[in-house]
Chains A and B, each alone.
Chain A
Amino acid sequence: MKYIPTIGVECHVQLRTKTKLFSEVDNDARGKEPNSCVSPVDYALPGMLPRLNGEAIKLAILAGRAMNCEINALSRFDRKHYFYPDSPKGYQITQFYHPIIGAGYVELPSGTKVRIEHAHLEGDAGKLTHFDTYSLVDLNRVDTPLIEIVSMPDIHSAKDVHDYCKELWRLMCYAGVTYGDLYNGNMRFDVNISLAPEGSKELGTRAEIKNLNSFRSAERAAEFEIKRQTKILESGEKVKQETRGWSDATGKTSPQRSKEEAKDYRYMPEPDIPPINLSKDFIDKESAKLPLMPKDYRKKFNKTISADILEVLLDYPELMKKLGEVEEKHTKNISNLFSSVLLAEEKSAEYLNDLPSAKDLNELAEMNEKKELSSTSTKEVFLRLFDPQMKTHGAKQIAKELGLIQENDLGALEKIVDIVLAKPETQKAQADFKAGEEKVIGFLVGQVMKESHGKANPSAVQEILRKKLA
């Protein structure tokens, strides 16, 4: 019997606000000491009052619009109770009953649509580190704003799990709501998987794989889980409903130790935070700030950039934004430099933070298209545009300083060719060429290039040589 997997994904996205969701404390704890970004609110001291960060609401609107979602005018916060040292309050402030982001969908590059059930704002928990006999608690991450995006079970393959996670990451980065740093856990995925016999109307029992921090892990975990559950079902046994963890090292999921009893979060409305009631004007005004999304760039560049190069470049929102600023006639040329030169560079990640100006890129493409720069020289000048000292000179000036501008003036070139042809050491080659030895033309072009100190345009030189030796 063939089994069809049905998969839904929950994704937590850390928002790039300056401060936390409920306190005026630095939200960016990367590289900072434990418990250095905390306030009495994060510690849940008696009498503390959480105060909602307005920026998180604006970012939630952008995130929602990026996923074609309805924005709910009225939303509220609720308390989700649980007892664990990562949460001094004893509850998480979340939006259980009235989330800010309603239904929508995400379209994968393949055209598959994954519907979004809803997405809500909530505070993150602290970080625990476990040792032999004790655990240590760092509260820097407490109440970092998150949006949790809940998809419908519309995914049916491990590959689509990967593509969905990646597209979500792109959407959130393009919308500018997160730093999207997966290594630092800015986005985390939970994957729910069940299998059912082909044609069956009922879904099977699902397992939830928690806390996957890369697209690849999500894909591999789904792949493993599909195989594991298929084996169980084929042997006539039943899949257990449980939470499982994933190990990148072993490539396996395994049951997570959890308390036996059913979850009981005792949700209740959060009385400390008054409801959010957004006017249509406010939602429209904030929605209008949504920058171009991957789908917009696909449409914009579908004639100038090939689809496979475009999909590679789409992983770099800053690159796409820059390409959008470059003159349309140069986008093909510049996109090639981005994909073949920049992304091949060892320091490409660093380079991406400080891209050349659109003006310099236009100038560079123009020089290349006018054949003032050979393709090798174009690449060289391009890389210099990332050099903090050189870049201020501008593309044209850099090309001049490096002596890379090609001589295209036919009259001037002809003079240089004549000088070379008059030299005794080229006489044999000239005779050989006239006798039909085609390949010596390379030697002669080389001599002219040398005479011109590398500035001659080789194809123009060859043309002149052929005319003269005909």
Chain B
Amino acid sequence: MNIKREDIIHLAALSNFRLDEKEIDSLGRDLQDIIKYISQLDKLDTDNIEPTYQVIEMENVWRDDEILPQEADREALLALTKEAKDNQIKVPKVL
């Protein structure tokens, strides 16, 4: 698989990253290398093998439907945001 410039621009847009021209090329090369490395796995015969959805073999890990007090309150959580207003997180206008 060949990573094209458009792929990098598309991926950046999906994650809302702003990249300059140089970064597009260098990230493209990095990603190409990563994919090449991972592609070695394609040589394995995986017919009739269930995909590995997870590596811990657990099932049905549920909790009871009971409200528990949280250690972090609203103030602590809002303090982590760049800007808050009226107890809400303020972000640049979206849409």
Q: Which residues of chain A have a CB within 8 Å of any CB of chain B?
A: 17-19, 24-26, 33-36, 38-40, 43, 45, 51-57, 76, 81-85, 90, 128-139, 257, 259, 261, 264, 266, 269, 271, 273-278
* Known contacts A25-B70, A40-B72, A129-B88: A84-B61 contact under CB 8 Å: no
* Cα A269 to Cα B72 with chains together (Å): 29
Contact of A264 among B14, B64, B66, B86 (CB under 8 A): B14
The 7 closest A-B CB pairs, nearest first, are: A54-B62, A55-B65, A136-B88, A24-B68, A137-B89, A274-B58, A269-B53
- When each residue 30-68 of chain B gets 1 if its CB lies under 8 Å from chain A and 0 otherwise, what string results? 000000000000000000000101111011111111111
Q: Which residue of A lies closest to B15 (CB)?
A: A83
Interface flag for B95 (CB, 8 Å)? yes
Interface residues on B, range: 35 or more
* B91 and A18 within 8 A (CB): no
Q: Which residue of A lies closest to B68 (CB)?
A: A24
* Cα A35 to Cα B73 with chains together (Å): 9
* Cα A134 to Cα B92 with chains together (Å): 5
Taking A52-B62, A275-B54 as known contacts, 9 extra A-B pairs with beta carbons closer than 8 A to each other, sorted by chain A number, are A19-B67, A19-B68, A24-B63, A35-B78, A38-B77, A83-B14, A133-B92, A136-B88, A137-B91
* B67 and A18 within 8 A (CB): yes
* Cα A83 to Cα B11 with chains together (Å): 11
Residues in chain B near residue A25, CB distance under 8 A: 67, 70
Q: Which residues of chain B have a CB within 8 Å of any CB of chain A?
A: 10, 13-16, 51, 53-56, 58-68, 70-72, 74, 77-78, 80, 85-95
* Cα A25 to Cα B10 with chains together (Å): 36
* A34 and B66 within 8 A (CB): no
* B77 and A35 within 8 A (CB): yes
* A135 and B61 within 8 A (CB): no
* Cα A72 to Cα B56 with chains together (Å): 22
Q: Which residue of A lies closest to B70 (CB)?
A: A39
* A43 and B77 within 8 A (CB): yes
Secondary structure of the A contact surface, majority rule: loop
* Known contacts A43-B77, A83-B15, A135-B94: A35-B63 contact under CB 8 Å: no
* B61 and A136 within 8 A (CB): no
* B67 and A35 within 8 A (CB): no
Write the nearest CB–CB distance from A27 to chain B, whole angstroms: 8
Write the nearest CB–CB distance from B89 to chain A, whole angstroms: 4
Residues in chain A near residue B93, CB distance under 8 A: 130-135
* B59 and A34 within 8 A (CB): no
Contact of A275 among B59, B67, B71, B80 (CB under 8 A): B59
* Cα A17 to Cα B86 with chains together (Å): 28
Contact of A39 among B16, B72, B88 (CB under 8 A): B72
Residues in chain B near residue A132, CB distance under 8 A: 93
Residues in chain B near residue A76, CB distance under 8 A: 53
* Cα A36 to Cα B74 with chains together (Å): 6
Write the nearest CB–CB distance from B85 to chain A, whole angstroms: 6
* A130 and B64 within 8 A (CB): no
Write the nearest CB–CB distance from B18 to chain A, whole angstroms: 13
The 11 sampled A-B contact pairs (Cβ below 8 Å) are A19-B67, A33-B74, A35-B78, A83-B14, A84-B94, A128-B94, A132-B93, A135-B94, A139-B89, A264-B14, A275-B53
* A85 and B88 within 8 A (CB): no
Q: Which residue of B lies closest to A90 (CB)?
A: B15
Q: Which residue of A lies closest to B55 (CB)?
A: A271
Residues in chain A near residue B62, CB distance under 8 A: 51-54, 57
* A19 and B89 within 8 A (CB): no
* Cα A139 to Cα B89 with chains together (Å): 9
Contact of B66 among A18, A38, A278 (CB under 8 A): A18
* A33 and B87 within 8 A (CB): yes
* B89 and A51 within 8 A (CB): no
Contact of B85 among A40, A52, A136, A276 (CB under 8 A): A136
* Cα A61 to Cα B82 with chains together (Å): 41
Write the nearest CB–CB distance from A132 to chain B, whole angstroms: 8
* Cα A17 to Cα B62 with chains together (Å): 14
Write the nearest CB–CB distance from A334 to chain B, whole angstroms: 35
Q: Which residue of B lies closest to A279 (CB)?
A: B60
* A18 and B65 within 8 A (CB): yes
